[in-house]
Amino acid sequence: MTRRRLPLLLAALTFVASTGCDGIFGVDLPGGAAKGPTYHVTVVFDDVLDLVPQSAVRVDDVAVGDVEKITLDPGTFKANVLLRIKKSVTLPRNAVAQVRQTSLLGEKFVELSPPIGEPAEGVLADGDTIASERSTRTPEVEEVFTALSALLNGGGIGNLQTIAVELSAALSGREATVRSALRNITELVTALDQRKNDIVRAIDSMDRLTKTLATQRQTIADALDTFTPALTVLADQRAELTKLLTHVAQLSKVGTRVVDASRADTVATLELLAPILDKVVAARTDLSKALDQVLLLTKLIPRAIPGDYLQLYVEIFLNPEDIGATAVGTVQNATGGKKPKAAPKTPAPTPLPPDGGTLDWLIGRGLS
């Protein structure tokens, strides 16, 4: 028995010595799922735990390859894991990688999958690299138990009962108020959610306003510098401005009293002016013609009598019949019902003489 066991013991010692300090984890596993045509992809991990070469590469829990080599990048202290994948497996270029475990105490493997929350892009090809931003690992059992121990021993689990008791005591008798407050908060949050587009638009408008103010900063500073002397002058003239406003107030009071006192007389005067204004409006056509004659006369005089000055006596006759029937009735009532003597009619305006005219010509036309 001793002779039979000695070769086995020597073989075991030789195997352990050959593995060195790494132990059994330094020995590559035999076999692998990558059979036939393959392509290589490098995945950069921050930590690969105890992942070893020949570990499986899975997609949707189906073995599609294996780990060919694991190296350490001395510059970044990250692990570069070279994967050998079957050529028949198609993955997007932005695929993600994760070091997982088959069971609680099972072996590690690398899982490849399309990205979550973003569309797939391109096709993963030979020589591509999956960066560390797209690689993760699952927590170890030791890490889970360590965190659980910290929570149970040094955490706040023991205080949960105290918190529950104090919370119940604080809300005792105030359930309706708290319920109403929660309902109001819910309505407020709902209203804010419905108006989020308006809020975003208002924030964008405020951002544009602040940018505009920032570009006009020097102009605003100059305006503020200009306002300072103006405000100083106003402050120095405050007493005079106050006095002026006081006098204006007194003037408004006096004006109010004057208007109130003369209101009746003003109304009566306007009522007396009303018939006169009506007659003027009725005779506006004839007055316009008379003014045209006067304007014509002012044009004839300088051309008929040249000189520095001229004394002229003019008589203007107004015929009530030409002014209007209303004016005639008024004149008849004023004369006792008798029609007054008709005044000579003013001759129609005549054109100017071709040579500019003379005084003899003006007298000859009956305008003296």
Cα–Cα nearest to 65, from 81, 80, 78, 50: 81
Q: Tell me the percentage of the chain whose pLDDT exceeds 90.
A: 32
Structure confidence by residue, pLDDT tens digits, 180-239? 999 999 999 999 999 999 999 999 999 999 999 999 989 888 888 888 888 888 888 889
User: Per-residue pLDDT for 39 more than 90?
Assistant: yes
pLDDT on residue 38: 92
Q: Average pLDDT, stretch 317-337?
A: 51
The pLDDT-based confidence of 368 (bands split at 50, 70, 90) is very low
Structure confidence by residue, pLDDT tens digits, 109-155? 999 999 988 899 999 999 999 999 999 998 887 888 887 777 777 66
Got the DSSP string for 247-273? Answer: HHHHHHHHHHHHHHHHHHHHHHHHHHH
Structure confidence by residue, pLDDT tens digits, 65-107? 999 999 999 988 999 999 999 999 999 999 999 999 888 778 8
pLDDT on residue 157: 65
User: Per-residue pLDDT for 46 more than 70?
Assistant: yes
User: Per-residue pLDDT for 1 more than 60?
Assistant: no
User: Per-residue pLDDT for 23 more than 70?
Assistant: no
| Residue located via tokens 């076999």 | 31
Give the integer Cα–Cα distance in Å for 32 and 69: 13
pLDDT on residue 91: 93
User: Per-residue pLDDT for 25 more than 60?
Assistant: no
The pLDDT-based confidence of 318 (bands split at 50, 70, 90) is low
Contact 328, 286 (CB under 8 A): no
Contact 60, 35 (CB under 8 A): no
Q: Average pLDDT, stretch 250-259?
A: 89
Lowest mean pLDDT, pick from 27-41, 297-311, 312-326: 312-326
User: Per-residue pLDDT for 169 more than 70?
Assistant: yes
Sign of CA dihedral 188, 190, 195, 196: positive
Mean pLDDT of the chain: 77
pLDDT on residue 133: 92
pLDDT on residue 329: 44
Q: What pTM was computed for the model?
A: 0.38
Q: Give Cα 324 distance to the centre of its chain.
A: 70
Cα–Cα nearest to 48, from 115, 143, 138: 138
pLDDT on residue 226: 85
pLDDT on residue 130: 94
pLDDT on residue 192: 92
The pLDDT-based confidence of 346 (bands split at 50, 70, 90) is very low
Question: Would strands 56-59 and 62-73 be described as parallel, antiparallel, or unpaired?
Answer: antiparallel
The pLDDT-based confidence of 21 (bands split at 50, 70, 90) is very low
User: In residues, how long is the chain?
Assistant: 368
User: Per-residue pLDDT for 43 more than 50?
Assistant: yes
pLDDT on residue 314: 67
The domain segmentation of the chain, as residue ranges, is 26-142, 176-236, 238-282, 287-364
259 versus 1: the higher-pLDDT residue is 259
Question: Would strands 56-59 and 108-113 be described as parallel, antiparallel, or unpaired?
Answer: parallel
pLDDT on residue 164: 82
